[in-house]
Amino acid sequence: MPPSFVVAADNASYADIADLVVISPLIVDVTIRNVRKLSAEQAAGVPASVERVLVEADVMALIRGEGGVTPRIRFLLDVPKNGKGKIPKLQKQRIYLFGRQVTGRPGEVQLTRPNALASFSTANDAIVRAIVKEAVQVNAAPHIAGVSSAFHSAGTVLGEGETQIFLKTNNDQPLSLTILSRPGQQKQWAVSTAEVIDASATAPQRFTLLWYRLACGLPRALPSDRVEGVLNADIARAKADYKFVIDSLGPCGRKR
């Protein structure tokens, strides 16, 4: 059984794995070969409830990483102790490591987070590789920093209208939501990743990088100060349409 601080092999959260993939320039599938406890001097400042160890692992596959990686790598890991003051057995565990190369030290890797590890499984392998494939694209879905502006335009007949919501991204890549309402029809929404709103745009499929960015990155409610317009009815419709998008996306699913 994998230790509790590692993303599980069974029923792993897409969001938990995506959180690690998008911040990790190096991703490797490894089998732990050896674990060595560090001396008190080497582990200075580490809480008593944690054991700092040096892990040596054999690389099974390089999933992401420019310039490749050595066949065997080393990395520091802080492992929580159990009630008896012991750490779980890590030798022979097959895991995914999410980190970065240590400059000038071949074979040494630094984890991007203290627990940036996931257990190996067929399901996790498919999730990791699918997210990496999307994340390395030039136009990959960006991190969402918030809502830039929103407005609602009422249609010519009762119940008809369109809400547009423009999002802030960390790389200034355009990202916007459009919600259409028509009398007698189910409300529809779409996300556009271009400067000009794409008429053929659709809502993202669940468990894709774009879905993850929206489901885990959007605020739960539309901030009032981001809604343009003076009519209370239009402001209320914009907020309701935004809630429709949030409900359609479903929960982020983050477990860690």
Q: What is the pLDDT of residues 160-212, one digit of tens each?
A: 999 999 999 999 999 999 999 999 999 999 999 887 776 678 999 999 999 99
Q: Is the pLDDT of residue 233 over 60?
A: yes
Cα separation, 136 vs 110, in Å, equals 20
At residue 42, φ and ψ (nearest 5 deg) are: -75, -25
Q: Give the start-to-end residue ranges of the domains of the chain.
A: 14-135, 144-249
Residue 18 parent element (H or E): helix 14-21
Residue 39 pLDDT grade (very low, low, confident, very high; cuts 50, 70, 90):
confident
DSSP 180-245: EE-TTS--EEEEE-SSSPPTT--PPPTTSHHHHHHHHHS-SS--GGGB--S-HHHHHHHHHHHHHH
Q: Is the pLDDT of residue 114 over 60?
A: yes
3-state DSSP helix/strand/coil % of the chain, to nearest 5: 20, 35, 45
CB 42 within 8 A of CB 52: yes
Task: Give the CA dihedral 7, 13, 14, 16, nearest 10 degrees.
Answer: -50
Task: Scan for tokens 């009398």, then name that residue.
Answer: 183
Domain 14-135 class in CATH: mainly beta
Dist CA 254 CA 256 (whole Å): 6
| pLDDT tens digits, one per residue of 127-147 | 999 999 999 999 999 999 999
